């Protein structure tokens, strides 16, 4: 189902999609040069302008990623997604045009460039429609059997049903409870128990078995699962499948041993050495570039309401160490003097006019670059929380303090996948994303978060 690149799990379907895009973009480049100049002159033209065409290809791929066209759960046959593809190709065309005018020596002839833009647009739309059509064919779908028809089994079934393009077709459940046999879970039948597992797998042409059992597994079930594995059937646990479908960890279905295995097996080189050095360099560059923006924001805050420009507060960082976070003030001065420590809610009257704007576009977070420079925080990681809330959540939410295993971040996987949490239930949801990040922390995942954060800032997707 997936492979891991630099410790980051990547779906084979996503790899197929990217490779298809690269082939089309590069093929369109060659074809446009041949159409405009002829075969031999066209080939020579591409060779002589290889760097320009490589940058063109990268611009298209990054634009597709930026507009979330690599979400493999999308139906690319829909009109809305076809329009998104067209918008992305036009945007990439504009980006490369700007690039070539800024760096004149990279420029490509206008005839070749325009033809390439037209070809890429139509070919990419056609390829994406074909991709979605192929995934719906039975030969590309995998029959899935879920072991356990309880909460965990039902949860993974719901996520499979939500992910229309997952390519997974649940044929049924296996459960040892005799009262459940012959019944249905959301229109999916319970086909038998552990003793009939191998027959069920054979009769239904099952290719993947998902183990969704929270209690101790019976020895007979383990033997049957081993037999399935030896016969070429993929046997995966529920948290792994759930993680691949949603990008989050179902913390209610894991235990301390699961977390221990993750901690032991996780490579430490990137998180301990490469990530801190790389983020320090990037943060220093960003801080210098954003000084003019911070000056303008400070003036506007001062003009908008009385009080300090910056807001400081004690937060809890890695390993429970306390530090002082710094942000642009978005609320009235001394906002918690009457309410105490409470979450900011939608339409919170304490938020100032300029504060609402800064929160929407995440501009209030910019001063935290200083916290990253001081090594209190990372660019990417779980958001730092206040001690009063941590003490509350660790009593109510399992594994909540696992967030403190890594340095908190200015942005994070949970922040780009879910809005600000204002309740225990929403905090539980965000924790699942934080655990996913901690488990899969890598350069690729950090890069993904960074690009999606830029998208959030540019389009004001935050709350």
Residue where a domain stops, chosen among 135, 168, 197: 135
Do 338 and 387 reside in the same domain of the chain? yes
Span of 13-17, 69-73, 345-349, 432-436 with lowest mean pLDDT: 345-349
pLDDT of res. 463: 45
- pLDDT > 60? residue 386: yes
Give the pLDDT of residue 154: 95
- Note whether residue 262 is domain-resident: no
- Indicate the number of domains in the chain: 3
Q: Give Rg (Cα) of the chain.
A: 26
Out of 35-39, 84-88, 118-122, 214-218, which region has the weakest mean confidence (pLDDT)?
214-218
Q: What is the mean pLDDT of residues 276-289?
A: 94
Residue 423: per-residue pLDDT: 81
Strands 8-11 and 2-5: antiparallel
Interval 240-261 mean pLDDT: 85
% of residues, the chain, pLDDT over 70 = 91
- Is the domain of 301 the same as that of 186? no
2 pLDDT higher than 70: no
For residue 54, tell me if it sits in a domain.
Answer: yes
Q: Are residues 396 and 381 in the same domain?
A: yes
Q: Which of 131, 130, 125 is nearest to 28 (CA)?
A: 125
Q: What number is the average pLDDT over the span 228-255?
A: 89
In 255-321, where do the E strands start and end? 310-316
Q: Residue 165, Cβ neighbours under 10 Å: how many?
A: 16
Are residues 126 and 50 part of one domain? yes
- Is residue 184 assigned to a domain? yes
The pTM of this model reads: 0.80
276 and 343 share one domain: yes
Check: CB of residue 384 under 8 Å from CB of residue 404: no
Query: For the segment 11-60, what is each residue's pLDDT rounded down to a tens digit?
Result: 677 888 888 988 898 888 889 989 989 999 888 888 888 887 788 888 88
- What is the average pLDDT across 85-91? 86
Of 163-172, 228-237, 396-405, 428-437, the least confident: 163-172
Domain presence at residue 255: no
Average pLDDT on 348-370 reads: 90
Asked if 170 and 59 sit in the same domain, the reply is no
Please report which confidence band the pLDDT of residue 283 belongs to, taking 50, 70 and 90 as the band edges. very high
What is the DSSP code (8-state) at residue 1? -
Q: Note whether residue 422 is domain-resident.
A: yes
* pLDDT in the model for residue 133: 83
More confident residue, 345 or 413: 413
Q: Which of the listed ranges 209-218, 287-296, 450-459 does the model predict with the highest average pLDDT?
A: 287-296
Whether 462 has a pLDDT exceeding 60, the answer reads no
Q: 79 lies in a domain?
A: yes
Neighbours of 157 (CB within 10 A): 22
Residue at a domain's end among 197, 213, 246: 246
Residue 183 is part of a domain; what is its CATH number?
A: 3.40.50.720
Residue 427 lies in a domain: yes
118 and 167: one domain? Answer: no
pLDDT, tens digit, 9 for 90 and up, residues 219-235: 999 999 999 999 989 99
Rounded Cα–Cα distance for residues 434 and 402 (Å): 9
Among 65-69, 178-182, 318-322, which range has the highest average pLDDT? 318-322
> Are 145 and 131 contained in the same domain?
no
How confident is the model at residue 54, as a pLDDT? Answer: 82
- DSSP string covering 334-393, please? TTTTTT-S----TT-TTB-HHHHHHHHTTGGGGGGHHHHHTTSSEEESSPPB-HHHHHHH
In a domain, 258, yes or no: no
Q: What is the pLDDT of residues 134-185, one digit of tens each?
A: 877 766 778 999 999 999 999 999 999 988 777 889 999 999 999 998 899 9
Residues 180 and 215 both lie in one domain: yes
Residue 231: domain span:
141-246
Asked if residue 362 and residue 376 are part of one domain, the reply reads: yes
Query: Last residue of a domain, which of 109, 135, 161?
Result: 135
Contact criterion met (CB below 8 Å) for 93 and 86: no
Residues 193 and 110 in one domain: no
Whether residue 152 sits in one domain with residue 113 = no
């Amino acid at each position: 189902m997936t492979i891991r690149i630099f410790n980051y799990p990547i779906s084979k379907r996503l790899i197929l999609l990217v490779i298809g895009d690269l082939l089309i973009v590069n093929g369109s480049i060659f074809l446009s040069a041949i159409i405009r100049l002829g075969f031999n002159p066209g080939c020579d033209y591409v060779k002589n302008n290889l760097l320009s065409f490589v940058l063109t290809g990268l611009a298209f791929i990054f634009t597709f990623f930026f507009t979330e066209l690599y979400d493999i759960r999308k139906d690319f046959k829909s009109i809305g997604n076809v329009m998104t593809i067209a918008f992305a190709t036009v945007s990439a065309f504009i980006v490369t045009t700007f690039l070539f005018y800024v760096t004149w020596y990279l420029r490509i002839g206008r005839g070749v460039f325009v033809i390439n833009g037209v070809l890429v647009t139509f070919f990419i739309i056609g390829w994406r429609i074909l991709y979605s059509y192929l995934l719906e064919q039975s030969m590309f779908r995998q029959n899935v059997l879920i072991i356990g028809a309880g909460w965990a089994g039902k949860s993974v079934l719901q996520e499979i049903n939500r992910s229309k393009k997952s390519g997974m077709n649940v044929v049924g459940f296996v459960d040892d409870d005799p009262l459940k046999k012959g019944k249905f879970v959301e229109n999916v039948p319970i086909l038998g128990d552990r003793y009939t597992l191998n027959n069920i797998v054979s009769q239904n042409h099952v290719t993947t078995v998902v183990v969704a059992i929270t209690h101790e597994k019976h020895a007979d079930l383990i033997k049957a699962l081993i037999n399935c594995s030896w016969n070429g059937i993929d046997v995966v646990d529920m948290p792994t499948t759930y993680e691949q479908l949603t990008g989050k960890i179902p913390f209610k279905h894991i235990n301390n041993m699961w977390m221990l295995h993750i901690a032991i097996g996780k490579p430490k080189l990137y998180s301990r050495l490469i990530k801190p050095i790389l983020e320090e360099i990037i943060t220093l560059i960003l801080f210098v570039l954003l000084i003019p923006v911070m000056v303008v924001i400070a003036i506007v805050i001062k003009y908008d309401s009385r009080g300090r420009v910056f807001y400081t507060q004690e937060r809890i960082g890695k390993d429970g160490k306390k530090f002082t976070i710094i942000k642009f003030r978005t609320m009235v001065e001394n906002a918690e003097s009457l309410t105490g420590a409470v979450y900011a809610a939608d339409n919170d009257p304490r938020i100032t006019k300029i504060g609402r704007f800064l929160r929407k576009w995440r501009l209030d977070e910019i001063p935290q670059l200083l916290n990253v420079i001081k090594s209190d925080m990372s660019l990417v990681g779980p958001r730092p929380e206040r001690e009063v809330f941590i003490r509350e959540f660790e009593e109510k939410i399992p594994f909540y303090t696992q967030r403190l295993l890594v340095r908190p971040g200015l942005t994070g996987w949970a922040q780009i996948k879910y809005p600000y949490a204002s309740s225990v239930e929403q905090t539980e949801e965000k924790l699942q994303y934080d655990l996913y990040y901690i488990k899969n922390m890598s350069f690729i995942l950090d890069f993904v978060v960074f690009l999606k954060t830029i998208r959030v800032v540019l389009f004001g997707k935050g709350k």
